[in-house]
Amino acid sequence: MRFFSDNAAAACPEAMAALAEANRLDTAYDGDRWSARLDSAFSELFETEAAALWVSTGTAANALALAALCPPFGAVICHRHAHIQTDECGAPEFYTGGAKLLVVEGEGAKLTPDAVAAVHDGVRKDVHQAQPAVLSITNATEYGLVYTPDETAALGDLCRARSLGLHLDGARFANAVASLGCAPADLTWKAGVDALSFGFTKNGALSAEALILFRPELRDATLNRRKRAGHLLSKGRYLAAQILAMLEGGVWLRNARAANAAAASIAAAAGARLVLPVEANEVFLQVTSDEAERLRAQGFDFYDWGPGEARLVTAWDSGPAHVEALAAAIRAL
Amino acid sequence: MRFFSDNAAAACPEAMAALAEANRLDTAYDGDRWSARLDSAFSELFETEAAALWVSTGTAANALALAALCPPFGAVICHRHAHIQTDECGAPEFYTGGAKLLVVEGEGAKLTPDAVAAVHDGVRKDVHQAQPAVLSITNATEYGLVYTPDETAALGDLCRARSLGLHLDGARFANAVASLGCAPADLTWKAGVDALSFGFTKNGALSAEALILFRPELRDATLNRRKRAGHLLSKGRYLAAQILAMLEGGVWLRNARAANAAAASIAAAAGARLVLPVEANEVFLQVTSDEAERLRAQGFDFYDWGPGEARLVTAWDSGPAHVEALAAAIRAL
Amino acid sequence: MRFFSDNAAAACPEAMAALAEANRLDTAYDGDRWSARLDSAFSELFETEAAALWVSTGTAANALALAALCPPFGAVICHRHAHIQTDECGAPEFYTGGAKLLVVEGEGAKLTPDAVAAVHDGVRKDVHQAQPAVLSITNATEYGLVYTPDETAALGDLCRARSLGLHLDGARFANAVASLGCAPADLTWKAGVDALSFGFTKNGALSAEALILFRPELRDATLNRRKRAGHLLSKGRYLAAQILAMLEGGVWLRNARAANAAAASIAAAAGARLVLPVEANEVFLQVTSDEAERLRAQGFDFYDWGPGEARLVTAWDSGPAHVEALAAAIRAL
Amino acid sequence: MRFFSDNAAAACPEAMAALAEANRLDTAYDGDRWSARLDSAFSELFETEAAALWVSTGTAANALALAALCPPFGAVICHRHAHIQTDECGAPEFYTGGAKLLVVEGEGAKLTPDAVAAVHDGVRKDVHQAQPAVLSITNATEYGLVYTPDETAALGDLCRARSLGLHLDGARFANAVASLGCAPADLTWKAGVDALSFGFTKNGALSAEALILFRPELRDATLNRRKRAGHLLSKGRYLAAQILAMLEGGVWLRNARAANAAAASIAAAAGARLVLPVEANEVFLQVTSDEAERLRAQGFDFYDWGPGEARLVTAWDSGPAHVEALAAAIRAL
C-alpha cells in the first residue's frame, strides 16, 4: 500500500489503450495525426489559442518554459521549495543558459504577491545583478496547497506590473482544477499565466506532459529548444495519443478527483495531525518516528518529510480499500 | 507502404507486452526492478562490466555520451553527415556546454583513420583552437554502411594514440551487429569504444534507447546530466522493461535481421541503381524524378535524397508483401 | 625586426597619453566621463546612432556580437578561416550558449554572396537543423583582403533577404577603411552591418576594442552579457580614454595607413612571390624553407603559414628602416 | 573626496611605470617575458608551486576559478552577500555551465563552518539536487571583515572532509594579509584553498587580477577557458608587468596598509556608529539620512548601504588630508 508518490503510479486504462491505438505507422516526430490535434484540443480546453507541445517529463516542460521566458542573464523568482529549485538538478539553469533562481519564502510552498514583490524589488536595477524575468509558481504546490484563480491573478497582476513572465508548474494542475472546480482558463491565461507545464504523468499517463504556451510567439523557439534538448521523440504519437485520450471525456479530471478524494479521506482521519490543509492529493502529517514505524509495519509506505513529519501522496489509482485502511490506521495511532 | 524511415515504425509485440507488464506501481525514476537489471543485462550482452542508462531519444543518448567525453572547450570529430552534426539542432553543443564539431569527409558517412587523423592533426596544439577530445562514429552509418570490428578497432587505435574518447552512435547498432554476425563486444569496447548509444526505438521499441558506458567512471556525472536534462523519467520502468524484453530471447537481433533482409531484397531488385552497397537497412537508389513519381503513384513512400536519389528504409515490420511489391516496382522502372 | 603579428605591437603615444590622463579617480565601470562619450563619438564617426561598448579583446567583442544576433539553437555562417572559427577556442559557442558555426569556403578568407547562399540554402528549414541566424565576415580578412562597400552591401542584401543578422569582425577594420578611403558608414550600417567589432588593439591601443551596435535594441542585453562575461572592467575609463584618443584627430586612420603602407612596400618587393593581393597590412609570401631560414638569419621574424608560405604582418609602428630592410632582403632572395 | 569604492581608484605609480616599461614589442598573449615570470613570482610569494594567470577583472578570475572546481551540474556554496552571488550578473552560472549557488547566512558576509555544514548537509545525496562541489569565501569579506588563518583552515578542513573545493575571492586579499600580518600562504593553500582570485585592481593596478591555482592540474583547462571567455589579451604583458611591479618591493602590501590605515582612522572617529568592526578598508556607519546629507554637503562621497547605513571605502590613495577631514566630519555629526 504505497503512498510514497503519485509519480510512480500505474498508467490508467485510457492511456494504455491510447498506446495500442497509436501503435501503427504514422509520421515521425510530431507530424502524426495525434500530435497535430494537440493545439486545438488544448485551445478548446483553455478557451483561447494555445500552443501545446508534448514532452516526457515535467522537468523538461518546466525548463523549456523557463528558457522561453528568461534570458541567460536573467533570474527566475520561485519558492524556496519549488521543484525547479530543489528537484531538477539545475535543469532551469541548464536550459536557460545559466539564469539564476531567486527564492522566496512562504507557507506550504505558496507565494504571496507581497513576498514576491519584496524579493523582486530588492534587486538593484543595474547590470551587476541578474534581473528577474519570470515568476514560477506551482499549483497545486509541492505541499499540496492550491492557488485560487484570484490568488493566481494577483500574482499575474504583479508580473504584468513588473514585466515578468509567469510560469505555472502544473505537475498537479489537474488536482488543483479538480479541487477548485473552476475552469482551466481561470487558473492560467485569464490570471496572467504565460506558460503552463500541464502534468499528465502523475495523473495516470505513462510518461507524458504537455507544455502549454499561451503566447504563440514563444512557440517556434521552444520547438527548436525541445529538439535540441533531445525531447523530440521520433514516436511522439504515443505521447500525444495518451494526452488526447485523457483530455477526452474528462479522464484527467476524473483521475484527479479520485486522488483528491482519497487524500481528503486520509485528512479527515488525520485531524489535528495535519501540518497543512489538504487541498489536493498530498497529506502532511505530524507523526513521531515510533508512529511512522507502526504505520510502516502495517504495510504503508510513505516519505519521511523532515523530523516528525510524513508525506503521503494519493494517486488516481489509490484503491479505496487501501485508503480506508490507512485512514483507520492513522485514527488508531 | 512506407519506406520513409524506421524511426516511425510501430512497436513490436514484445515491447508492447513489456509496457503492460510494467504497468503496476513500482519505485519511481530508475529505482524499479527493471531499471535495476539493466547494468547486468548489458554487461552480460557485452561480456564486460558496463553501465546502462535508459533515455527516450537517440539525440539524448548521443548528447549525454559526448558531454561525458568532451569538455566545453573541446571538439568532437565526426562525419559531415553524422546525425549529431546534421539532425540534432545543436544538442551536442548544448549538452557539452559549447564544444565544437569538426567534420570529416568520407564515402557513405563512413570515416577512415587517415581522414580522421588529417583533421585531428590539423588542429594546432594551443589554447586558440578547440582541442579534439572525442571521435564520434555511427554504425550502421547514416548511409547504411557498416564498420567491421577491424575498421572500428583501427579507429579505436587512433583514438588511444591521440587521447581521444570514442563514441559510437548506434541508432542502428542492431542492424550492424545483425549484418556482421559478430559479437556486440567486437564492435564496441574491444575495438576501443567508450560509450555507445544503443538504439531500440528504430528497431521496435516505443521510445527507448540505452546509453552504454564502458568506462564506469563516466557513470555518476552522466546520471546527473540525465536528470538535469529532464531525461530521468519518473516512470522509467516502462523504458527499462521494453529494453529488457527486446534483449531477452534476442528480439533485438531478430528485428534487425528482418529489417536487413527486407533491405537486401530491395537492393537485389535495384541492382545498378544502388548508390551505395546495402549493408544494413537503408537503400539509396538512383531514380529520376519521373521514376520517383511512378513509385509514389503505386503507393510507396520514401525520402528524396538530393537530386536523382531516393532513400528507402526498412524496419522490423516492413511486411514481406510490401517489400516484394516494392522490389517488383523497382525492377519495372 | 618582428613581422609576426600586429597583435603584439606597442601602444601608440596617444593611447599611452590617454592612460595618464585617465589616471585619476572617476566613476567605476562605464560611468566615467570617457565611457559616457563613446556613443556620441562613434555615432558621429559612423554618421548614425550607434551604441558603443568597450571590451578588452576582439574575441569578447565578436562573441558578444554573435550572442546578440544568434539564439543558442541557431547557426552562424562564416568563412572556414574566420578568426571566430579557428582562433577563439569556441568563444562564439560559449557566449551564444551553443550555436553552431557553418563554414563557407572562399579565396583569401573572403566570402561571396553565392557561396554564403549555397551554405545557407542547404540547411533544411526544420527543427532538426540549427537554423542560420547571422553571417559573420571579417574586413580586412584574415588573409589581408578587403571587402569593398559594394561587396559588403551585396552580402548585406543577402542577409536581409534571408533574415540573417550581419556581424563584421573588424579587428583590422581601420586597415580596411584606410585601404579603401571610404567612409566608415559605407562598410557598415549602410551596407547592412548590424554589429561591428572595431579593433583598436592591433592598431595601437593597449588592449581596447569597441563593439559597435547599429541596432540600438541590442544594447541592453549586451550590457548584461558583457558584465556576466567578466568584461565590465571597474576601471573601464582607461579603455574609453584610449579609444577616444585614437578617434580624435584620426589617429586610428593614421596608424592604419602607416601599417598598410609598410605592407605595400614589402608587397612591391615581393612581386611574383605574393600568394594573395596585399590590400591591408598582411603579406603572404611564397618562400622555400631555405629562403625563410635566410630571412630569419637576417633578423626577420614571421609566421610560417603552411608549407612554402610565410605570413608577414605590419603594424602602426613597423619602422621604415625595418620595412626597407625586409623589402631588400626579399628582393635579394 | 570620494569614499565610494576602491574599484575606481587611480593606478599607483609603480603600475603606471610598468605599463611604460612593457610598451615595446614582445610576444603576444602570455608568451612575453613578464607573463613568463608570473608562476615563479607567485610561487615564491606563496612558498609553494602555484600557477598564476592574469585576467582583467575579478569577476573573470572568480568565474574561472569556480568553473575549474565545479561541474555544470554541481553547486557552489557561498555567502548570501558574496560578490559572486550579488554582483556578477550570473558570471559563475555562465562560466560553470549552469551550476547553482547555494547561499549561507553569516554576520558581516563571513561564514562559519557550522553554517556551511548545515547548508551542505541539507542537500540530499541524489541526482535530483545539485550537489555542492565548492565553497567560495571572500577575504576580506564584502563587509570588510577578515578571516584569520585559523578560521580559513577550519573551513578548509570542512571542505576536505566533504570533498569540496575551496575558492577564495581575494579582491581585497592584500587588505586581509596587511590586516593580519600573516604570510600569504597561511591564508591560502596551507589553509586548504585551491584557487585564489588575487585582486590588484582595487589595490592600485589599472585593471589586473591574478588567478592563482594551488592545484597545478587545474591549469590547462583554465587556460582554455580563459581564451574561450575572451580573456586572453593579446597584449597581456601590460597586465603581467603591472602585477610583477606591485609584487616587487611589496608595493601590494604597502598600498593595502595605506588603505587599511585610512579606514582605521575613520573607524576611530566613528566609534559607536560602527555597524561592524573595521578589519580592512571598509567602514560601515550608522548615519541618519540627515547626517548622510550633511557629510555629502561637505564633499564626501559614499554609498548608501540600506536604511540608516553608509559604506565608506578607502583606497591606497585615500589622501591623509581627505581622511582626516572625513574623520573630523564624522566626529562633528
Chain C residues 105-164 with CB within 8 Å of chain A? 127-128, 131
B94 touches chain C (CB under 8 A): yes
**pLDDT tens-digit series, residues C152-175:** 999 999 999 999 999 999 999 999
Chain A residue numbers touching C73 (CB-CB < 8 A) = 221, 224-225, 227-228
Residue C1 has pLDDT above 80, yes or no: no
pLDDT of the residue at B246: 98
Q: How many CB atoms lie within 10 A of CB B87?
A: 18
Provide the residue type at B29 as one letter: Y
**pLDDT tens-digit series, residues B107-154:** 999 999 999 999 999 999 999 999 999 999 999 999 999 999 999 999
What are the cell numbers at A264? 481528503
Nearest chain A alpha carbon to B199? A234
Share of chain C above pLDDT 90, in %: 96
**How many interface pairs between B and D have CB atoms less than 8 angstroms apart?**
37
Phi then psi for C232, rounded to 5 degrees? -95, 90
Chain B residue numbers touching A94 (CB-CB < 8 A) = 228-229
Task: With CB atoms and an 8 Å threshold, state whether A71 touches C227.
Answer: no
A294-320 mean pLDDT: 94
Chain C residue numbers touching A224 (CB-CB < 8 A) = 71, 73, 127, 131
Rounded CA separation A243/A259 (Å): 18
Res. D115 pLDDT band, cuts 50 70 90 = very high
pLDDT of the residue at A285: 96
**pLDDT tens-digit series, residues D294-312:** 999 999 999 999 889 999 9
Average predicted confidence (pLDDT) for chain B: 97
- H or E segment and range at residue D136: strand D131-138
Nearest chain A alpha carbon to C30? A127
Task: With CB atoms and an 8 Å threshold, state whether D94 touches A86.
Answer: no
8 Å CB contact between B170 and B255? no
Average predicted confidence (pLDDT) for chain C: 97
A221 touches chain C (CB under 8 A): yes
Contacts of A65 (CB under 8 A, 6+ apart): A136, A167, A195, A196, A197, A211, A213
Phi then psi for B166, rounded to 5 degrees? -130, 120
Phi-psi region of B77 (alpha: psi -120 to 50; beta: other; left: phi over 0): beta
Neighbouring-strand partners of residue D167: D136, D195
Chain D residue numbers touching A127 (CB-CB < 8 A) = 89
Rounded CA separation B80/B332 (Å): 35
Residue B279 has pLDDT above 80, yes or no: yes
Which segment of A86-95, A111-120, B1-10, B67-76 scores lowest on mean pLDDT?
A: B1-10
**pLDDT tens-digit series, residues A183-239:** 999 999 999 999 999 999 999 999 999 999 999 999 999 999 999 999 999 999 999
Helix runs in A97-172, H state only: 113-121, 149-161
Which segment of A103-107, C23-27, C312-316 scores lowest on mean pLDDT?
A: C23-27
Of B97, D8, A246, the C-alpha closest to C30 is D8
pLDDT of the residue at A4: 85
Of B259, B210, B202, B261, the C-alpha closest to B231 is B210
Q: ipTM of the predicted structure?
A: 0.97
Chain D residue numbers touching A97 (CB-CB < 8 A) = 94, 98
D71 touches chain A (CB under 8 A): no
pLDDT of the residue at D1: 76
Chain D residue numbers touching B225 (CB-CB < 8 A) = 72-73
Res. B298 pLDDT band, cuts 50 70 90 = very high
8 Å CB contact between A64 and A270? no
Residue C4 has pLDDT above 90, yes or no: no
Rounded CA separation A17/A245 (Å): 8
**pLDDT tens-digit series, residues B97-118:** 999 999 999 999 999 999 999 9
Min Cα distance A186 → chain C (Å) is 33
Nearest CB partner across the interface for D90, out of A86, A89, A99: A99
| Residue with cell string 517556434 | A220
**How many interface pairs between C and D have CB atoms less than 8 angstroms apart?**
149
pLDDT of the residue at D116: 98
* Optimal mutation site among D101, D225, D234, interface C, most CBs of chain C within 10 A: D234
What are the cell numbers at D179? 590586516
pLDDT of the residue at D185: 98
Task: With CB atoms and an 8 Å threshold, state whether C234 touches D201.
Answer: yes
8 Å CB contact between C200 and D63? no
* Optimal mutation site among A57, A80, A87, A89, interface D, most CBs of chain D within 10 A: A89
**pLDDT tens-digit series, residues D49-103:** 999 999 999 999 999 999 999 999 999 999 999 999 999 999 999 999 999 999 9
Residue A25 has pLDDT above 90, yes or no: no
pLDDT of the residue at B306: 83
Res. C43 pLDDT band, cuts 50 70 90 = very high
Q: Compute the Cα dihedral for D324, D325, D330, D333 and give only its sign.
A: positive
Phi then psi for D36, rounded to 5 degrees? -65, -20
Task: Using only the alpha carbons of chain A, give its radius of gyration.
Answer: 20
**b/e sequence B222-251, b meaning 16+ C-beta within 10 Å:** bbbbbbbbbbbbbbbbbbbbbbbbbbeeeb
Share of chain B above pLDDT 70, in %: 100
Q: How many CB atoms lie within 10 A of CB D157?
A: 14
- H or E segment and range at residue C252: helix C251-270
**How many interface pairs between A and C have CB atoms less than 8 angstroms apart?**
37
pLDDT of the residue at B323: 96
Q: Beta A209-213 vs A51-55: how paired, if at all?
A: antiparallel
Average predicted confidence (pLDDT) for chain A: 97
Contacts of B89 (CB under 8 A, 6+ apart): A224, A227, A228, C73, C127, C128, C129, C130
Min Cα distance C39 → chain B (Å) is 31
Chain D residue numbers touching A89 (CB-CB < 8 A) = 73, 127-130
Residue C2 has pLDDT above 90, yes or no: no
Nearest CB partner across the interface for A56, out of B28, B227, B233: B233
pLDDT of the residue at B13: 97
**pLDDT tens-digit series, residues D156-172:** 999 999 999 999 999 99
Chain C neighbours (≥3 Cβ pairs under 8 A) are A, B, D
DSSP per-residue letters across B156-182? HHHHHHTT-EEEEEETTHHHHHHHHT-
Res. D286 pLDDT band, cuts 50 70 90 = very high
Res. C238 pLDDT band, cuts 50 70 90 = very high
C286-314 mean pLDDT: 94
pLDDT of the residue at D203: 97
Neighbouring-strand partners of residue B170: B198
pLDDT of the residue at A2: 84
pLDDT of the residue at D306: 83
